[in-house]
Amino acid sequence: MTPQIDLAQPLRIVHLRQAATPLTVVLGTEVLQRVTRSRVFLGKVLGDDRAVYGSTTGFGALVGYAGRADQADQADNTLAHLGAGQGPDLDPGVVRATMLIRAWSLAQGASGVSPHVIEALAAMLATTFVPAMPRLGSVGASGDLIPLGAAAQALRGRGYAYVDGVRMPAAEALERAGLTRLPLDGRDALALVNGTSLTTAATALALDSVRTSHRVVQMLTCLLADLLGCDPQFLDPRLIGAYAHPGAIEVAAFMRETLRGAVPSGTRALQEPYSIRCAPQLLGAAEGALRYVDGVVEADLGSVSDNPLFFPEDDLVVHGGNFFGQPAAFAGDLLAMVIAQVGNLAERQLDLLVDPHRNGGLPPMLAAGPGQQHGLQGVQLASTALIAEIRRDAMPASMQSLPTNLHNQDVIPLGTQAALRALDQARLLRLICGSLALGLRQAAYVGARTPTAPGCATILDALAEAIPAIDPDRPLDGDVRRAADLVERLSFL
């Protein structure tokens, strides 16, 4: 069944996931009325010879110069110079989520756009059409100008786009998708590009992925503790309550439930390594950070990011900076830190698991026949490379401000970079989770005890059913991905 999204209702992360494939976007009477009212007001303002950025003026640092008199020409004036993006095309799912966010923002009736612009976005989202949007070019200050400019041009039949996953000239893509070229005037063109929709989409999708991996690591930490026979007192509610951090209290409660019924082996040291003993404190701190990002994403999804904004009821055109992506820049950087530390925890847990000096005597690298076989050796090497990649790329983007655009943009947030980087790292984190899950499945095969907690047994049974033991050695790249997919599904049960 095709998902349906009503632009009169709040936008949620689940809607962004749904936008990866064709969906129905509903433009109800309420939306069309407020968009039309704003558009009529724009006509009145222009008729009064009031200055309106992007309709009567040049752009950016050239705002002091008059724009083109003909509004269709003014659309070209807006978009042509933005055709400067570089790098690979962005992932189609991210692009389609971006266009849904742009449609929702414009549908709030504060942008002065023509109703047919939002209708065209809704029509596009009902097909497999995806504008080819370059990754590099946005600084997230006046919105995501260059990537959104490429999307606007694709909707006009210029540049490139995808249909059914195939890249082709945009004019051909429109025809194949049954869409018509989108006519724009100056305000329409500027409203399509002058917002942080790409930054918001990438931040939201990264958050969604990291939240899942965060829960997966909680589950896998419990399974690790049970397989090794650890004493679960590190999750004692009195201990965690004294710690007093809400995130740790919530995480520990979930982990206690997963470990409910676990019986310590009595052979472990009094205190476990920090990668087990301090997991609720570390993952609890991550929970606190993720709650901050939750708030940023919720606000961004409910935000009108554009300039200027139109308020017909007050007879006002207000020029300002609602396209400045600083909140998402901070949120993306915070996500990067969370990803790095949660990924580091999972990688260290895998390292503990393959080490016979710390894993209770299981064979080195969990090899079924050490020397003749190598078990998790390649996977553990790859996991180390993955976390090194994450850590190397964790420099905050939001502190890299550079003046540009003749100092019109004298401070910039670089939220787009922060958001896309977080999304890249989130994909690596899930692979580290898959690597740990694969290691836990193999540990059970080479001699780890049977889980004593029913919740842990359920996780291990699912892994064992889906993934054969490593005996003999085989390429494991696909198994890592399968394990990652499986534990993600389990995290939602």
| pLDDT tens per residue across span 268-303 | 999 999 999 999 999 999 999 999 999 999 999 999
Boundaries of every domain in the chain: 4-195, 202-491
- Catalytic pick from 53, 162, 292, 445? 53
Provide mean pLDDT across the span 89-107. 98
Does 274 participate in catalysis according to the annotation? no
**Is the per-residue pLDDT at 73 higher than 90?**
no
113-145 confidence digits (pLDDT tens): 999 999 999 999 999 999 999 999 988 888 899
* pLDDT tens digits, one per residue of 374-398: 999 999 999 999 999 999 988 898 8
Distance CA 11, CA 187 (A): 24
pLDDT in tens, 304-340: 999 999 999 999 999 999 999 999 999 999 999 999 9
pLDDT value of residue 401: 84
Region 439-459 average pLDDT: 98
pLDDT tens profile 352-379: 999 999 999 999 999 999 999 999 999 9
Fold match, 4-195 / 202-491: no
- CATH superfamily, with its number, for domain 202-491: Fumarase/aspartase (Central domain) (1.20.200.10)
Bigger pLDDT: 116 vs 71: 116
Task: Report yes or no on whether pTM surpasses 0.75.
Answer: yes
pLDDT band, residue 414 (cuts 50/70/90): confident
pLDDT at 69 over 80: no
Topology at the third CATH level for domain 4-195: Fumarase C; Chain B, domain 1 (1.10.275)
- Which residues are within 8 A (CB) of 405 and not within 5 positions of it... i.e. 6 or more apart? 60, 61, 142
Q: Is the pLDDT of residue 74 over 90?
A: no
